[in-house]
Amino acid sequence: MSEKALLVANPPSACKAILFDADLCTACLNCVEVCRTDVLIPNPKQGEPPIVLYPDECWFCGSCVAHCPCPGAIRMEHPLSQRATWKRKETGELFRIGMKNPPPPNTKPPVC
């Protein structure tokens, strides 16, 4: 008796952990090799970006983005609950992690 093993993706969810830009991706599969949780698998179509098989299991470590030779080909899409933001009391400005022009650090000592 021959049995086949099939890869089946998780049911669709709101989590889209990793997004690929098909125009920039060269399908080198570096991201598949370095993924710590095996979220990515090679695409069976030659020259296409990898498939995100288990997006809910992504740790958002960023190793796939760091090892990609094409800047901008892979983008991490963090869930809303993990997007850290803060507000400066004096000015009311809103900031978030990863913004392009971060504010200068607060050098004032705390008031006791």
Tokens representing residue 53 in the block: 């098989």
Please answer whether residues 22 and 8 qualify as being in contact, where contact means their C-beta atoms are separated by less than 8 angstroms. Answer: no
Per-residue pLDDT tens over the stretch 14-49: 667 889 999 999 999 999 999 999 999 999 999 999
* pTM for this prediction: 0.60
DSSP class of residue 56 equals: G
Go through the domains of the chain in sequence order and give each one's CATH number: 13-105 (3.30.70.20)
In this prediction, residue 93 has a pLDDT band, given cuts at 50, 70 and 90, of: confident
Q: What is the pLDDT of residues 59-77, one digit of tens each?
A: 888 899 999 999 999 998 8
Length of the chain: 112
46 vs 96, residue with greater confidence? 46
Sequential DSSP letters for 26-53: ----HHHHH-TT--EE--SSTTSPPEE-
81 beta partners: none
pLDDT greater at residue 10 or residue 82? 82
Q: What is the pLDDT of residue 14?
A: 61
